[in-house]
Amino acid sequence: MLKQSGLTPDSARYREIVPAGGYWIKRIAKDQILRIVDLEGNQAADTLFFCADDPAERYSAVDTIRAQGNVYLGLGSKLMSTECNVMLEIVADMVGQHDTLGGACASESNTVRYALDKRTMHACRDSWLLAIAEHDEFKLTKRDITHNINFFMNVPVTPEGDLSFADGVSGADKYVEMRACMDVIVLISNCPQLNNPCNAYNPTPIEILIWGTA
Amino acid sequence: MTELLYETVIDGGKHWSFIARRGTLLTLTDRAGGANVGMLFYNPENPLERYNAPDTLKCQQTFRLTRGHCLYSDMGRIFCSVVADTVGWHDTVAGNANKALVAERWGIQTYQDHRNDWTQNGHDAFLVEAGKYGLGRRDLAANVNWFSKVAPAADGTLHFDRTNSPAGSSVALRFEMDTLVLLHTCPHPMYPAGPYPRKPVALQFSKADPVAADDYCLNLRAENGRGFKNNEIYHLCAADAGAHSC
């Protein structure tokens, strides 16, 4: 189900464009609204959330899937933590379906999925690792890199148990918007993947907007 | 026929852990039907390398685990391969029950009143076993739930299948590298309400046959061939390299 946001970009307190292959990390406060915009379409925003006061509590794909009884994320999805608390809720969505099964690309999984000589290609996990190294104020390490959300990405599953990476259902200027239900650290890799159709083999920028008081 | 080296039964609602050496064949048997075995995998040389369910699913384009599938670490290596399976579907997307979920779904039996028949939960079970190796809640990940099936409908809605694993069902794992295994036999988080399900599971350890060129797991998909190659690179010049042709 699609729902347009009532918020206008010119009223946002924060706007930033994250280039393809870049990262974004920031603390946002409870009740702030976070929007991620797929500026050119068919991009994937690989996103992790951590409880700001206790980063050992973090986004849990399996608890989110189980709690809502559905594998896909969309409008109304409550993004659950490892302690089964609601971290954020999707309050507007122009895409309809987001993935949280497929994980992030890594140099090492690229060797398995495509070819051993892909091991030096840039990958989401490298962006995350650089982000937490350059922002040690968040006290995150590789231990904290866990299963993520792929906003805008389409990973359909079937009753027979198959799973595939399909062409995206997103498009230029489509967005997803969340309300934070606790103070959270947001860590995003704007996916640099060049080997599969999740971003049409063409990584493009995303925009981040925030509304509400810090 | 491989020689049985060790056999034990883990009663329902319990937990255990061990290091399975490369070349170990571990066969799990659901003795009563409807069992669940939560399992996590780490590299004992570097526990930051751990089971990665998303990589396992996307590398093999599957939502379920069964014979032929390899269980991947986040470093592109294979902890173990599923060399035999009478069940056909094992879950790795539904996670664990925690204390609150157990209390709500099946009720609480305290240790004080029920001794070792208390109602243990998978989340706490993993924390206890992880702690024995210096690991904690930041180290937990999406786990496997052997013998449990959670199937998606066309719209993505998930359904737990109670009939998935009849009594006597078994699944066999061949370890392709030394692996720290954490396991519990606590109920699957989507098992229906009623009395706390307490299902025993037999574990049999034996030595696996070497991986042959025509091995089913190795050849299931081109991805698995590359995964096995990553293991081979990891074991280059290891003392027993070649004894178990990875």
Query: Which residues of chain A neighbour B229 with C-beta distances below 8 Å?
Result: 116
**Res B245 pLDDT > 70:** no
What pLDDT, in 10s, does the model give residues B139-189?
999 999 999 999 999 999 999 999 999 999 999 999 999 999 999 999 999
Asked if B62's CB is within 8 angstroms of A162's CB, the reply is: yes
Residues of B numbered 120-179 whose beta carbons fall under 8 angstroms of chain A's beta carbons: which are they?
Answer: 136-143, 151-158
pLDDT at B2: 77
pLDDT at B242: 52
Query: Which residues of chain A neighbour B98 with C-beta distances below 8 Å?
Result: 83-84
Do the Cβ atoms of A155 and A99 come closer than 8 Å?
Answer: yes
Give A28's strand partners: A184
Q: Write the DSSP symbol of residue B91.
A: B
Q: Residue A139 has which token pair?
A: 């006290």
Instruction: Find tokens 């048997």 and name the residue.
Output: B29
State ipTM.
0.97
Best mutation site among B36, B42, B48, B63 for testing chain A: the one with the most A CBs within 10 Å? Answer: B63
> Which is it for the CA torsion B41, A73, A16, A34, positive or negative?
negative
Closest CA to A24 of A52, A49, A58, A51: A49
- Gyration radius of chain B's alpha carbons: 18
| Contacting residues for B40 by C-beta, under 8 A, at least 6 apart | B50, B51, B126, B130, B140, B141, B143, B144, B181, B182, B183
Chain A residues with CB-CB distance to B under 8 A? Answer: 55-58, 60-63, 65-66, 69-72, 82-84, 101-104, 106, 108-113, 115-116, 125, 142-144, 146-147, 155, 157-159, 161-165
pLDDT at B238: 86
| Helical residues (DSSP H) of B45-85, grouped into ranges | 53-59
Query: Which residues of chain A neighbour B55 with C-beta distances below 8 Å?
Result: 103, 106, 109, 112
For residues A110-138, give the mean pLDDT. Answer: 97
What pLDDT, in 10s, does the model give residues B68-127?
999 999 999 999 999 999 999 999 999 999 999 999 999 999 999 999 999 999 999 999
Neighbours of A137 (CB within 10 A): 10
**Res A168 pLDDT > 90:** no
Query: Which residues of chain A neighbour B189 with C-beta distances below 8 Å?
Result: 66
What pLDDT, in 10s, does the model give residues A169-184?
899 999 999 999 999 9
pLDDT at B1: 54
What pLDDT, in 10s, does the model give residues B8-55?
999 999 999 999 999 999 999 999 999 999 999 999 999 999 999 999
Q: Are strands A86-93 and B15-20 parallel, antiparallel or unpaired?
A: unpaired
What pLDDT, in 10s, does the model give residues A18-56?
999 999 999 999 999 999 999 999 999 999 999 999 999
pLDDT at B239: 77
